[in-house]
Amino acid sequence: MPIYEYRCESCGFQKEHLQKMDDGALTVCPSCGSGHYVKQISAAGFQLKGNGWYATDFKGGGKAQSAPAASETPPPCCAGCACHHPS
């Protein structure tokens, strides 16, 4: 889910909000209650949830991936090339 940054043009209050992409923009400032709460243009931020590639392959921070088995088919370039089978 994207994280959007908002700023109130009336009081200057700023806050990041986690919203679904199809959620409408917020307009009411949670600090002063004015209707001048606008979404800022900033670097995109997002939060990953659930069991996907991030949780299984990346989030662990450097866990070693298992090496391919020796019985696997060699790459299509050739069975004994120097790039895949250095001597």
Digit-coded pLDDT (tens) for 54-87 = 666 666 655 555 555 555 665 666 656 666 555 5
* pLDDT for res 35: 96
Helix (H, G, I), strand (E, B) or coil at 45: strand
Total length of the chain: 87
Domain ranges of the chain: 2-58
Each residue's pLDDT tens digit, 17-60:
999 889 999 999 999 999 999 999 877 667 766 676 666 666 66
Neighbouring residues of 9: CB distance < 8 A, sequence distance ≥ 6: 34, 36, 37, 38
Q: What's the fold here for domain 2-58? A: Rubrerythrin, domain 2 (2.20.28)
| HSE-up of residue 53 (Cα within 13 Å, Cβ side) | 0
- E-state strands within the chain: 2-8, 14-18, 37-39, 45-46
In eight-state DSSP terms, residue 53 is H
Bridge partners of 46, per DSSP, are 2
